[in-house]
Chain A
Amino acid sequence: MSALVIVLIVCAIAAAGFVLGRARALASAGGDIRGLHSLPSYYGLNVALAALLPALLLLALWSIAQPLLVERSVAAMLPDGVDSALVMSDVRRVADGLALAVAQGALSPQEVAALDADATDLRATLGDVGVALGSAVTPEILDAARTHRAMSATGDLWRAIVVIAAALAGTAVGWSVTNSALRARNLVERVALALLAFAASVAILTTLGIVLSLIFNTLEFFRLYPASEFFLGTTWSPSFGGGSELGILPLLWGTLYISFIALLVAVPIGLFAAIYLSEYASPGVRGIVKPLLEMLAGIPTIVYGLFALLTVGPLLVELFGNGGPLGLGWMDGGTAVMTAGLVMGIMLIPFVSSLSDDIINAVPQALRDGSLGLGATRSETVRQVILPAALPGIVGAVLLAASRAIGETMIVVLGAGAAARLSMNPFDAMTTVTAKIVSQLTGDADFSSPEALVAFALGMTLFVITLVLNVFALWIVRTYREQYD
């Protein structure tokens, strides 16, 4: 019985439990709702949850544990000295293939039991049902696969029995404790609390998982490639034939340079837009401009990348390239730090303006009145009272924007080029950490080579940088927030 069917059956049991619990509660109070501690549906919900929760928990645990146990006992059957990971994956494929063949009617269960690896061409038979095998099936593997299949089938059967029994038992317990004095409402409340806490911890655990996977792969990389050369090397030239130089400095330089230009564009424009919107614009203008500005934030970054590649890059070449009206000849190709930085800056404008707008609006009206009442103009008020008061929040917003700029990928891939170099000229093509992570992992590289693993070290470095920036930003925002009140 598949897991989905079991879940459906358990849900049906829970639904029945709901009806039964509700009816019992009503009956125990003699049909008068006012005699109950909680509303009748809470008693029903209580019984339903008593059926659902243990059963589903058991199902989840069983589904995780069963394959592990089955594979361990099957592995014990195999002769020693073979590459067990490789053989086990063969066994799994054959077992799956047999199950599929039986399900599609290509083989009958009796035929499976009577199969002889030497006599029949199992590879062809399984190929017919859509399971491709890498090599011919040996008798050992066939035996192991048959055992695997048999044990899994038994396990599945027991899983269904145990889970459904648990659901029934839960219903029975929930039903039997239902009486008018039971605080069903409080019990349901506690389950709701547990559910919410679970949702919160999923996010935290996922982050933890991401960090751990980064850390292990990074450590693996540093076993193959010296950390000092990674952090201090000034050349980035991966070659999959070996002898790569994987210095992070050119990439880090490119990242910081492009982010710097992006912030140079985004911070003044975003901040001024925020000041206009919160201090000067009439409610009507604000109601139109603010959503329009925030629409910029909804444009996918790949579209910004296209904009950089097709519009901004050529425009810059025309201006600053050879034969341009300025006659400067600084720029050879459309992809450059400047191109990516400008476009990324545009992308960050709504980010900065929206956050700053909220922060400026949080400055109490009393401060504005106080300043205006002393004969200050609006811009004097903004410069001397509002911005100083909002500064910590604005710094926080800028740091958050910076950490987004550092992590941005698509605009860089399309706008900045792919050359890892340390150059001061903003019209040179450069590349960033994120763009190189993409190019290191999208090739045919073997995942155990340092050329591929370096991506994790790069990712880890970025993660640490943005984490520090974010923590710092939040710290600033939080520390100085209570200034007014």
Chain B
Amino acid sequence: MDDLRRTEALLSQQQTKISARNVQVWYGDTHAIKDVSVEIADKTTTAFIGPSGCGKSTFLRCINRMNDTIPAARIEGDIEIDGEDIYDRRVDPVRLRAKVGMVFQKPNPFPKSIYDNVAYGPRIHGLARGRAELDAIVEKALRRAALWNEVKDRLTAPGTGLSGGQQQRLCIARAVATEPEVLLMDEPCSALDPIATAQVEELIDELRQNYSVVIVTHSMQQAARVSQKTAFFHLGHLVEFGDTATIFTNPEDSRTESYISGRIG
């Protein structure tokens, strides 16, 4: 199993999807991210771990420029996706976010029907010509999120009426429906019970076939289960980045080892 993972990781390492160099982020006077450089591979799940307030969510939000919506945030350095600088003046953050989907910590379905939730992105970006095509997109997205069988008979029911795990899978379907190339997940399972968590983790593993998935998690077991690459953040620094198996079994940095073995964090 480990061998298989390592081979996969090696394969994908050749195709860098996201490349960040010397990224610095300030919230007002707080220096939240200090000189982070990382290469994130395509068709791989990369986990960001680290104690609360270490900057992993902040860094995640840099990748689709969600920090732009916070007036006090200031970003320096380069982040490139497919070799294109996303902080370039010519890049429209709105278009970028269609390419880099995001799933949030708390399930946040819109107060609309299940169908309209999933169709939201495709409608905004004009991905469907006609109702039939939109229906197909919605069904495909819900199938990918492993939710189709549970909701196919009640697509017009409100999305807020689903259970927590179903809501989070609906949000994943919603993000997938716009055909992003990268999927960012900010602690997607922290509000879910173990069964729903297992479903979402299984889903992440399937999504990896098509997307580059970046997941922030507080659970080291989860990071070990779903990711091929792991990045450990501490106090705004990227302390260590490497294959998940290596990080968890033979970390280079003593801080990483302390965190993984539960001595700090």
Interface residues of A (CB under 8 A from B): 282-283, 364, 366-377, 380, 384-385, 388-389, 483-484
B106 within 8 A of A: yes
> What are the nearest 7 A-B pairs in CB distance?
A375-B98, A366-B108, A373-B102, A375-B97, A370-B108, A374-B121, A389-B111
The answer to whether A375 and B94 touch across the interface, beta carbons within 8 angstroms, is yes
The answer to whether A374 and B108 touch across the interface, beta carbons within 8 angstroms, is no
Give residues 23-64 of B contacting A (CB, 8 Å). 64
Nearest residue in A to B103 (C-beta to C-beta)?
Answer: A373
Which of these, A373, A376, A377, A384, contacts B104 with CB under 8 Å? Answer: A373
How many B residues touch the partner, as a band? 20 to 34
The answer to whether B106 and A366 touch across the interface, beta carbons within 8 angstroms, is yes
Which of these, B64, B71, B106, contacts A373 with CB under 8 Å? Answer: B64
Q: What chain B residues lie within 8 Å of A380 (beta carbons)?
A: 124
* Interface SS majority for chain B: helix
Provide the bound-state CA to CA distance between A373 and B94, in Å. 8
The answer to whether A372 and B69 touch across the interface, beta carbons within 8 angstroms, is yes
Give residues 126-143 of B contacting A (CB, 8 Å). none
The answer to whether A374 and B178 touch across the interface, beta carbons within 8 angstroms, is yes
The answer to whether B121 and A375 touch across the interface, beta carbons within 8 angstroms, is yes
Q: What chain B residues lie within 8 Å of A385 (beta carbons)?
A: 110
| B254–chain A nearest beta-carbon distance, Å | 36
| A222–chain B nearest beta-carbon distance, Å | 47
Q: What chain A residues lie within 8 Å of B104 (beta carbons)?
A: 366, 369-370, 373
The answer to whether B110 and A370 touch across the interface, beta carbons within 8 angstroms, is yes
The answer to whether A370 and B171 touch across the interface, beta carbons within 8 angstroms, is yes
Which of these, A283, A371, A372, A377, contacts B110 with CB under 8 Å? Answer: A371
A-B contact count (CB 8 A): 72
Interface residues of B (CB under 8 A from A): 64, 66, 69, 71, 94-99, 101-102, 104, 106, 108-112, 120-121, 124-125, 160, 171, 174-175, 178
Provide the bound-state CA to CA distance between A484 and B110, in Å. 9
The answer to whether A282 and B97 touch across the interface, beta carbons within 8 angstroms, is no
The answer to whether B110 and A373 touch across the interface, beta carbons within 8 angstroms, is no
Which of these, A364, A366, A372, A483, contacts B97 with CB under 8 Å? Answer: A372
Which of these, A368, A377, A384, contacts B120 with CB under 8 Å? Answer: A384
Q: A367-B108, A370-B104, A373-B175 known; 9 other A-B pairs, CB under 8 Å?
A: A282-B71, A366-B104, A369-B66, A369-B69, A370-B108, A372-B66, A373-B64, A374-B97, A375-B125
The answer to whether A374 and B111 touch across the interface, beta carbons within 8 angstroms, is no
* 24 residue pairs bridging A and B, Cβ less than 8 Å apart: A364-B108, A368-B69, A370-B108, A371-B110, A373-B66, A373-B101, A373-B102, A373-B104, A373-B175, A374-B101, A374-B124, A375-B94, A375-B99, A375-B121, A375-B125, A376-B120, A376-B121, A376-B124, A385-B110, A388-B111, A388-B112, A389-B111, A483-B111, A484-B160
| A67–chain B nearest beta-carbon distance, Å | 62
> Residue among B108, B160, B174 with the most chain A CB within 10 A?
B108
Q: What chain A residues lie within 8 Å of B124 (beta carbons)?
A: 374-376, 380, 384
Nearest residue in B to A370 (C-beta to C-beta)?
Answer: B108
Provide the bound-state CA to CA distance between A283 and B72, in Å. 11
> Residue among A282, A283, A376 with the most chain B CB within 10 A?
A376
